[in-house]
Amino acid sequence: MKTIMYFLKFSIVLLCLFLMNCAGNSDRKAAEALGWEVGFQAYTFNRFTFAEALAKGDSIGMKSVEAYPGQEIGGGIQGTTEFSMSQETRDKVKELLAARGMKLNAYGVAGPRDSAEWKQLFDFAKDMGIGIITAEPRFDQLDLVAKLCDEYGIKVAIHNHPAPSLYWNPDTALKALDGRTANLGVCADIGHWIRSGLDPVECLQKLEGRIIILHFKDLNEKAPEAHDVPWGTGVAKVPAVLAELKRQGFKGLFDIEYEYNWLNSGPEVKQCVDNFYKMVAELQGSH
């Protein structure tokens, strides 16, 4: 009898795991149907090396990463993730990514000082297979950046840090984009909009058609000193944000940039991913 009971309990556990896996796959398919992909900004793990950041993202099942300038590479590779790295270092970083089956979805937030550095950045992005550069170019650099975007076939997404940074208000980004190539758009950081006292849904509405990538966040409060919390548990009105992006027909990247609990944010980052897929499934009517 005990053997039968153990077998039944074991079978129930296996069934539950199977059903959970099916539900998880269904939720992910709902996001895929919208053309939405979740990746992570390596800055989430900026207390660690780039190699360690990849390991942390991989452990959560994420295969898409945005590198940022200045992170120690690690993994036996000298140097940092600056776009000025040598060809030898680039090749080693490619090997590091390939070993985990991971890809660079973007690079930034970058701020080249002059035309030579901008060209160096685009050369780096092309060689590394990076399709999106997140940046905060000066107003006097916009024509150059737009030209390079079209020349290289690489998108530049203008990022918003909180006020009083250059592009904290979406109206400023709209002015910068007016009349310029569609390869120049926006990296929408919804958390920084909240820190600046703005409504993320209203900001997205203003920028419709020019959003290339999101640095996605949810915050514990509407204040400059607010900190990140798992998506859907804070004040960012995440379901409404997702509904607005669906209405716009947005297709692209949601990069997690989790800036809290720096040394042990992995469980919270995983919760962001899980919550995202559940909310998308609900938005699609899959639940």
Q: What is the pLDDT of residues 42-55, one digit of tens each?
A: 999 999 999 999 99
Q: Kindly indicate the confidence band of residue 22, based on its pLDDT and cuts at 50, 70 and 90.
A: very low
* Dist. CA 45–CA 240, nearest whole Å: 28
Q: Is residue 21 part of a domain?
A: no
CATH assignment of the domain containing 105: 3.20.20.150
Q: Is residue 16 part of a domain?
A: no
Q: Is residue 221 part of a domain?
A: yes
Q: What is the pLDDT of residues 244-280, one digit of tens each?
A: 999 999 999 999 999 999 999 999 999 999 999 999 9
Q: What is the pLDDT of residues 167-219, one digit of tens each?
A: 999 999 999 999 999 999 999 999 999 999 999 999 999 999 999 999 999 99
Q: Is residue 182 part of a domain?
A: yes
Partners of 67 in the β-ladder:
107
Checking if the pLDDT of 287 tops 70, the result is no
User: Average of pLDDT values for 82-99?
Assistant: 98
Enclosing domain of residue 222: 37-283
Q: Is residue 4 part of a domain?
A: no
Q: Is residue 193 part of a domain?
A: yes
pTM for this prediction: 0.89
Place of tokens 């796959």: 25
Quick one: pLDDT at residue 13? 39
Q: Is residue 191 part of a domain?
A: yes
Checking if the pLDDT of 20 tops 80, the result is no
Number of structural domains found in the chain = 1
